[in-house]
Amino acid sequence: MSARDFHLVMIKPTHYDDDGYPIQWLRSAIPSNTLASLNGLAEAARDRHALGEEVRIHLHTFDETNKRVRPAHIAAQIRKQGGRALIALVGVQSNQFPRATDLARKFMAEGLPTAIGGFHVSGCISMLDEMPADMVGLQQEGVSYFAGEAEDRRLDMVLRDAFNGTLKPLYDFMADLPSLGGEPTPILPSRHIQFTAGSHSSFDLGRGCPFQCSFCTIINVQGRKSRFRSADDLERIIRENHAQGINRFFITDDNFARNREWDSLFDRLILLREKEKFDIKFIIQVDTLCHRIDGFIEKATRAGVNRVFIGLENINPDNLLAAKKRQNKITEYREMLQKWRAHGATTYAGYIIGFPGDTKEAVLRDVEIIKKELPLDLLEFFYLTPLPGSEDHKVLLSKGTWMDPDLNKYDLNHRVTHHPKMSDAEWEEAYREAWQNYYSDAHIETVLRRAAAHGKGRPGNKLFLMMWFKLMVECEGVHPLEGGYFRLKVRSDRRVGLPGEHPVPFYARYLAEIVSKHWAYLSAVWRVYRIYRRVKASPDRRNYTDLAIAPMDGTLEEDLAMIRETRGGTEAVARQVRDAALRKAGKDRARAATPS
């Protein structure tokens, strides 16, 4: 190799745990969508000789959740092979920015040009009048930033500048978000998949969201105008991934139900599944009104959607209104979840703790209501977090309100500000006890009984998923979506600024953690597996029912505690009654005006 060789090293960084060690696993949960997208764009740039016919582009990809990143080793390999290089830290979220900063400085010390892109950079550029001081300092050290999206051959511009030694301090494309149609396939080399949960990968079919939730960064990073890939794009993504043994996918669109091409996209998947016998399954994200779209749930499950994540967020209408999440109607929750259940889909929901009206007692009360009245399978809890790039963050910053300066904590799993009604301790207790109460043995049994009562319920799958969520939180102290199998720790990779530990106590503690965690895993799994066997063996399991799965009787169900316990709930029912009466009156007038 020579100076006519160019190395693009794409790294998706992890973030640090509370002890300062990178969160890394022997096998992580799901491959990075951003890494797949950037790798697909880079492969296309390489194939069309974006740096000229005489320049060979070499691509290197690292997902730090399952692969250790050693800057000195990478730099030595590049020097040995020869050529120029760019280190690209991609898809960096706010909680990953401290880790990305530490890695960037190490690569810069090795003489390698380095750039950082992702939601943190894009969100700050989009929403703040001035770049945060830590970003400014890193930029002054020579690190470049990329804000926006790299489609439409924008990556080519960065590669050319890096190759010519003229990398700009900032590439800002936030005002010009590109179309997705016809763009290269998001794909990762198959070697990445073997270090994840298996034959899983992820991609997006649309970006942007029309809603205005104040806690959300997507609307300010990807825009409020939705952009989509075509059915042909989707088929190409499936075929290219399927060719290397990948048949399970997470479609990362924030709200697939608002993709105006959902019908043609599902039709193409149905064709692949039913005519060509592709064994493919999907996880999608939707809103709480998706069941009102005629045929959406039916086609989704026929197309292979067997898990669906729903942005429930809260069951208190006053909280939803405060967060500008006006599209969520709690009077629709139960019917919507029952429809997904009827078609055999496993339902996940996100639930945010820390809205202004919350108290510890109200949060725990609402969790009990959800357990009793909604046929949810999995519930994920999050702290209300003012993420950089969100309206909440901008408002608090403008008011001078305290926010934790350590971005590593902005993972939705740590409290980073104060609450107007709860003390810090109460807020943390509410969060911790919400997880414990929902994933209690008693409620796990309830979910298993609901699943066993339905022909498409898959109670074994429910058992696995609930135990995954329970054990990641209780044993590993991480959110389930950033979890994995067998935690890896390297003593020398500790966060910059924290003291290095002596090998003897470090490895003694690490070994003790491994033993105690696996004992906790085995104990919990054996205990709950016995519940599962009892449920499966019950001769009348098909006859089980409870309030959550009882048939809808066509009434407004004002007696539900979810409705009755909040002022907003009773007002929502009153509006629904009023709207129904107005619709009926309109129909009556129309009939009266129609000649017989």
- Tens of pLDDT along the chain (596 residues)? 456 999 999 999 999 999 999 999 998 887 788 999 999 999 999 999 999 999 999 999 999 999 999 999 999 999 999 999 999 999 999 999 999 999 999 999 999 999 999 999 999 999 999 999 999 999 999 999 999 999 999 999 999 999 999 999 999 999 988 888 888 888 887 777 777 776 678 899 988 887 778 888 888 888 878 889 999 999 999 999 999 888 989 998 888 988 889 999 999 999 999 999 999 999 999 988 899 999 999 999 999 999 999 887 777 766 666 555 455 556 678 889 999 999 999 999 989 999 998 999 999 999 998 999 899 999 999 999 999 999 999 999 999 999 999 999 999 999 999 999 999 999 999 999 999 999 999 999 999 999 999 999 999 999 999 999 999 999 999 999 899 999 999 999 999 999 999 999 999 999 999 999 999 999 999 999 999 999 999 999 999 999 899 887 655 455 676 666 665 555 555 555 565 566 666 666 767 777 65
Classified as helix, coil or strand, 115 is strand
In 469-543, the DSSP E strands lie at: 484-488
Classified as helix, coil or strand, 463 is helix
From the CA atom positions of the chain, what is the Rg in Å? 25
Signed CA dihedral, 215, 219, 224, 230: sign only: negative
Q: What letter would DSSP give residue 222? A: T
Could you tell me which of 271, 283, 300 has the C-alpha nearest to residue 247? 283
Q: What is the 3-state secondary structure (H, E, C) of 92-104?
A: CCHHHHHHHHHHH
At 218 the pLDDT is 85
Phi and psi at residue 537, to the nearest 5°: -80, -10
Distances (CA, A) of 226 to 120, 218, 219, 248, 261: 20, 11, 10, 25, 11
Question: What CATH class is the domain 5-172?
Answer: alpha beta
The span from the CA of 160 to the CA of 69, in Å, is 25
Q: What letter would DSSP give residue 276? A: S
Asked if residue 59 lies in contact with residue 187, where contact means CB atoms within 8 angstroms, the answer is no
Strands 484-488 and 24-28: antiparallel
At 335 the pLDDT is 87
Phi and psi at residue 27, to the nearest 5°: -135, 125
Could you tell me which of 440, 419, 415 has the C-alpha nearest to residue 360? 419
Classified as helix, coil or strand, 301 is helix
Q: What is the largest distance, in Å, between two alpha-carbon atoms of the chain? A: 93
At 323 the pLDDT is 54
Could you tell me which of 186, 192, 201 has the C-alpha nearest to residue 67? 192
- The residues, any chain, with a CB within 8 Å of residue 296's CB and separated by 6 or more, are 257, 262, 290
Amino acid at 60: H
Question: What CATH class is the domain 199-543?
Answer: alpha beta
At 237 the pLDDT is 93
Task: Give domain limits for the chain.
Answer: 5-172, 199-543, 566-593
At 567 the pLDDT is 54
Q: The tokens 């909040």 sit on which residue?
A: 566
Classified as helix, coil or strand, 305 is strand
At 342 the pLDDT is 94
Q: The tokens 């939601």 sit on which residue?
A: 119
